[in-house]
Amino acid sequence: MSGLVLDRLEVRAKGKLIVALDAVVKPGGVLTIMGPSGSGKSTALAAIIGTLGPEFSLSGRLILDGRDITGLPTRARGVGLLFQDDVLFPHLSVGGNLAFALPAALRGRKARRAAVEAALAKAGLAGFADRDPATLSGGERARVALMRTLLAEPRALLLDEPFSRLDAGLRDRIRAFVLDLIRAERIPAVLVTHQADDAEAAGGRILDPLGRPVPPGT
Amino acid sequence: MTADGALRFAPRLTLLLMAGPVIAGLAGTLRPAFEADGMARLLDWPGLARAVALSLGTGIASTLLSLAIALGLVAALQGGRLFTLILRLLSPLLAVPHAAAALGLAFLLAPSGWIARALSPWATGWTQPPDLLILNDPAGLALTAGLVLKEVPFLLLILIAALPQADAPRRLMLMASLGYGRVAGWMLSVLPAVWPQMRPAVYAVLAYSMTAVDMAIVLGPALPPTLSAQLVLWMTSPDLSIHPVAAAGALVQLGLVLAALALLRCAETGLARLGCRLALTGRRQIWADRWLAPLAAGAGLLVVLLMAGSMAGLALWSFAGPWVFPDALPQRLELDAWARAAPGLGPAALETVLLAALSAALATGLVLACLEAESRFGLKPGGGALWLLWLPLIMPQVAFLPGLAELGLRTGVEGSTGAVAAAHLVFVLPYVFLSLAAPWRAWDPRIAVAGAALGATPGRIFWRLRLPMLLRPVLTAAAVGFAVSVGQYLPTLLIGGGRVTTLTTEAVALSSGGNRRIIGTFAMLQLALPLLAFALALALPAALFRNRAGMRPGA
């Protein structure tokens, strides 16, 4: 079965339940986890990406495209991550950032360069490969970050408030760009946010970290 | 998997390489102390009381003075423009080897030195160098001054590195809003938070100042010299029957250092209690700001001036043509001294660079492995590990290097470049670690998560992301290690068995001869090598990442 299954995924710290999620995210669908800061959103995110600290205990399973990824290290999960900030690598060019994400199986300088150029063109950033990421605008950086994530060919996407640092006008455009790509590439996605309009734009189920449905408009 | 296992072992290997030689050497040095009535003969030596008093006096006085200046500068001036200026001038002085600083200061202070020349004859009336014992004075004042010049920059930088964890700006604001003076507010609210972090550095300064050999030979009194300097004379003496006396002396020296450290510990507790009592009185102590700020600034600037004068003096002497007293400047500049020194300078410089490059590269590699193991396996270094790190810097060198040299002699490695580099490593490692640990740990962990989420292995994250992003601090730490190795005197002398000649051993050996031009060339080169290393450490990342605005300092 394709898609991301959170199978009674529960995280506890010192016995206290912080995360309890039981949901299925279909390819191209978005599950939104919403709640104020301190509600366990980032713990839920760490559980899915595989960076939980030793102070947490995890139960339940994560199934991605039929494969149990619960015990796998972050790099082997096939879950792509978009941060609140773009977290571009500052020592690499824009093209270098993208090439870092390309699977090693794609061999040959020319082929890799072509893949990078194609991704940039898709994001409306043709000719940006040799640019210094520090010279890009916020919107450009956000798009490079998304393309970098997608080039690693993730089977699922995790979005950690990726729009909250963008200013209002840009925000809608980038959000639409990301959500359209998710649908087009048919990737299951989990969006973690505290903003209702992000959740509504995503269009899927909205839960709080303890798995309770959040009524629209809150 | 085996690489993973080796990495996991790195911290233990590093600690072993540092603490092992110290402990083995200590045992080796002190064993003969109980043979051949070494202790009885030491006690019969008429110079003992005076040598002990010199070691204690110069060590404690210079430590307290350096500490007072460093604390005063930060407490009274930090944040101001004058402080930034002094800091910027003092930081590069950290790279000046002890021997070069001592020789430079000697050129400045001597009766025929630069200061006397600048003031003569118009102010002093001297047409010939006066018969004054300014240098090598029996009370060790010149030695104390030399030690202070070297330790103020060190303590100041350690102090500044410890400040961020002390939440200083908010504490100071709070104290000011309660009506406290700046200095009083700093001493009562910030110092207690920074002290635990700078404590090992202060202990190291005290131990070093009490036992420094190269500075004592150049600046200290002669008959008798400080205890450590006398011990080295005995230890390197061809008369083997004196060696048990030297071993007994090393035991005494170790006892003196431990006693002084204990005394300092008691003083800390007493002062802390006094501070608490003072805080309870609620006196705002605003008066302290008025006189402490100019005093600290004056002392800081004096340190900068004396060091700058020393360095300039070394350079000038090495290029000086005829220069009769009391002319302030030589009649002309020439390259004669450099040409005459060249046959000795070349091999000594080569050996120095070889030792420094070897020990700095090895230390940087080990420290990187330690830090990477720490983040990859979630290791948390305990307080014990931190003290082991400082052990080679706190343990007096004369107490463990002779035993180590003896061990080298017995295993046949004494006198080889490799053995000396290994001895340098003991002192280079702690400094490289202290220099690199903070920036390495401060690296944004999200970069690693981003890399892992893109499928990168831990190895790829290390080589392609963390190492290049931290290239500047890594190279700076390597340069610190390089500078530390260049400055090593006693390890080179004792482990090298006199067969490994570096710029430092040669400059100190020449210092008694008094040919200032030749000494100037050796000291200049000794000074230039660390500066070159630091320049490279700054230039290389800047050139490599010249098109990356996000990689600039402060970005």
Same domain membership, residue B80 and residue B56: yes
Question: Do residues B147 and B66 lie in contact, with contact meaning Cβ atoms separated by under 8 Å?
Answer: yes
Which CA distances in Å does B184 have to A115, B282, B297? 63, 11, 17
B378 and A CB contact within 8 Å: yes
Q: Please give the share of chain B, as a percent, with pLDDT higher than 70.
A: 99
Mean pLDDT of B2-28: 85
Q: Is residue B40 part of a domain?
A: no
Same domain membership, residue B215 and residue B298: yes
Q: Is the pLDDT of residue B70 over 80?
A: yes
Residue type, B375: S
pLDDT tens across B330-361, in order? 888 889 889 998 898 999 999 999 999 999 99
Q: What pLDDT band is residue A218 in, cutting at 50, 70 and 90?
A: low
What tokens appear for B455 in the block?
């499928």
Could you tell me which chain B residue has the CA closest to the CA of A158? B453
pLDDT tens across B360-407, in order? 999 999 999 999 998 888 887 777 787 888 889 888 888 888 888 888
Same domain membership, residue B289 and residue B339: no
Give the DSSP per-residue string, B356-421: HHHHHHHHHHHHHHHHHHHHHTT----HHHHHHHHHHHHS-HHHHHHHHHHHHHHHT-TT-HHHHH
Same domain membership, residue B59 and residue B12: no
Q: What pLDDT band is residue B465 in, cutting at 50, 70 and 90?
A: very high
For residue B553, list chain A residues with Cβ-Cβ distance below 8 A.
none
Same domain membership, residue B87 and residue B23: no
What tokens appear for A134 in the block?
């520090």
Same domain membership, residue B106 and residue B24: no
For residue A87, list chain B residues with Cβ-Cβ distance below 8 A.
444, 446-447, 450
Same domain membership, residue B376 and residue B302: no
Same domain membership, residue B227 and residue B91: yes
Cβ–Cβ of B449/A51 closer than 8 Å?
yes
pLDDT tens across B204-232, in order? 999 999 999 999 988 988 888 999 999 98
Same domain membership, residue B365 and residue B290: no
Nearest chain B Cα distance for residue A95, angstroms: 13
First and final C-alpha spacing in chain A: 33
pTM for the whole structure = 0.89
Cβ–Cβ of B465/A89 closer than 8 Å?
yes
Mean pLDDT of B437-456: 92
pLDDT tens across B501-527, in order? 999 999 998 888 778 889 999 999 999
Q: Is residue B466 part of a domain?
A: yes
Same domain membership, residue B346 and residue B275: no
Nearest chain A Cα distance for residue B543, angstroms: 12
Q: CATH number of the domain at B497, please.
A: 1.10.3720.10
Same domain membership, residue B498 and residue B378: yes
What tokens appear for B393 in the block?
């810097």
* ipTM confidence: 0.90
Q: Which domain holds residue B247?
A: 45-317
Q: Is the pLDDT of residue B480 over 60?
A: yes
pLDDT tens across B297-320, in order? 899 999 999 999 999 999 999 998
Cβ atoms within 10 Å, residue A159: 28
The residue ranking higher by pLDDT, A163 or A45, is: A45
Residue type, A164: S
For residue B453, list chain A residues with Cβ-Cβ distance below 8 A.
49, 74-75, 77, 79-81, 149, 152, 154, 158
Number of A–B residue contacts, CB under 8 Å: 76
Q: Please give the share of chain A, as a percent, with pLDDT higher than 90.
A: 67
Cβ–Cβ of B465/A134 closer than 8 Å?
no
Using DSSP's 3-state secondary structure scheme, residue A136 falls into coil
pLDDT tens across A108-140, in order? 999 999 999 999 999 899 999 999 999 999 889
Cβ–Cβ of B450/A87 closer than 8 Å?
yes
Give the DSSP per-residue string, B434-485: HHHHHHHHTS-HHHHHHHHHTT--HHHIIIIIIHHHTHHHHHHHHHHHHHHH
Give the DSSP per-residue string, A141-165: HHHHHHHHHHHT--SEEEEESTTTT
Same domain membership, residue B243 and residue B108: yes
Mean pLDDT of B84-106: 87
Residue type, B532: L
Q: In chain A, where do the E strands start and end? A: 4-13, 16-25, 30-34, 56-64, 67-68, 79-82, 156-160, 189-193, 206-207
Q: Please give the share of chain A, as a percent, with pLDDT higher than 70.
A: 99
The residue ranking higher by pLDDT, B120 or A188, is: A188
pLDDT tens across A62-102, in order? 999 999 999 899 999 999 999 888 899 999 999 999 999 99
Q: Mapped to the 3 state alphabet, what secondary structure does B31-74 carry?
A: HHHHCCCHHHHHHHCCCHHHHHHHHHHHHHHHHHHHHHHHHHHH
B528 and A CB contact within 8 Å: no
Q: Tokens 């959500």 correspond to what residue?
A: A179
| pLDDT at residue B322 in the model | 85
pLDDT tens across B230-241, in order? 998 888 888 888
Q: Is the pLDDT of residue A216 over 70?
A: no
Cβ–Cβ of B469/A81 closer than 8 Å?
no
Q: Is residue B278 part of a domain?
A: yes
The set of residues, in sequence order, having a beta carbon less than 8 Å from that of B181 and lying 6+ positions away, is B284, B285, B286, B287, B288, B289
Which one of B377, B454, B461, B547 would you mutate to disrupt binding with A, by most A Cβ within 10 Å of its Cβ? B454
Between strands A79-82 and A156-160, the pairing is: parallel
Q: Is the pLDDT of residue B554 over 80?
A: no
| pLDDT at residue B423 in the model | 92
Identify the contact set of chain A against chain B, taking CB-CB distances under 8 A.
49-51, 54, 73-77, 79-81, 83, 85, 87-91, 93, 100-101, 103, 132-135, 148-149, 152, 154, 158
Could you tell me which chain B residue has the CA closest to the CA of A81? B453
The residue ranking higher by pLDDT, B6 or B373, is: B373
Question: Do residues A78 and A64 lie in contact, with contact meaning Cβ atoms separated by under 8 Å?
Answer: yes
Cβ–Cβ of B454/A148 closer than 8 Å?
yes
Q: Is the pLDDT of residue B111 over 70?
A: yes
Q: What pLDDT band is residue B2 in, cutting at 50, 70 and 90?
A: low
Q: Is residue B323 part of a domain?
A: no
| Exposed / middle / buried, residue B330 (Cβ in 10 Å: 0-12, 13-18, 19+) | middle
Q: Is residue B38 part of a domain?
A: no
Could you tell me which chain A residue has the CA closest to the CA of B541? A91
| pLDDT at residue B3 in the model | 67
Which of B444, B456, B550 lies nearest to residue A75, judging by beta carbons? B456
Q: Is residue B199 part of a domain?
A: yes
pLDDT tens across B416-433, in order? 899 999 999 999 999 999
Q: Is the pLDDT of residue B199 over 60?
A: yes
Whole-number mean pLDDT of chain B? 88
Cβ–Cβ of A83/B455 closer than 8 Å?
no
| pLDDT at residue B1 in the model | 43
| pLDDT at residue A217 in the model | 62
Could you tell me which chain A residue has the CA closest to the CA of B450? A81
The set of residues, in sequence order, having a beta carbon less than 8 Å from that of A89 and lying 6+ positions away, is A96, A97, A100, A133, B447, B450, B465, B469
Cβ–Cβ of A91/B454 closer than 8 Å?
no
Q: Please give the share of chain B, as a percent, with pLDDT higher than 90.
A: 42
Q: Is residue B329 part of a domain?
A: no
Q: Is residue B271 part of a domain?
A: yes
Cβ–Cβ of B555/A90 closer than 8 Å?
yes
Cβ–Cβ of A87/B444 closer than 8 Å?
yes
Total domains in the fold of chain B: 2
Q: Tokens 């006198």 correspond to what residue?
A: B415
Between strands A16-25 and A4-13, the pairing is: antiparallel
Mean pLDDT of A159-164: 86
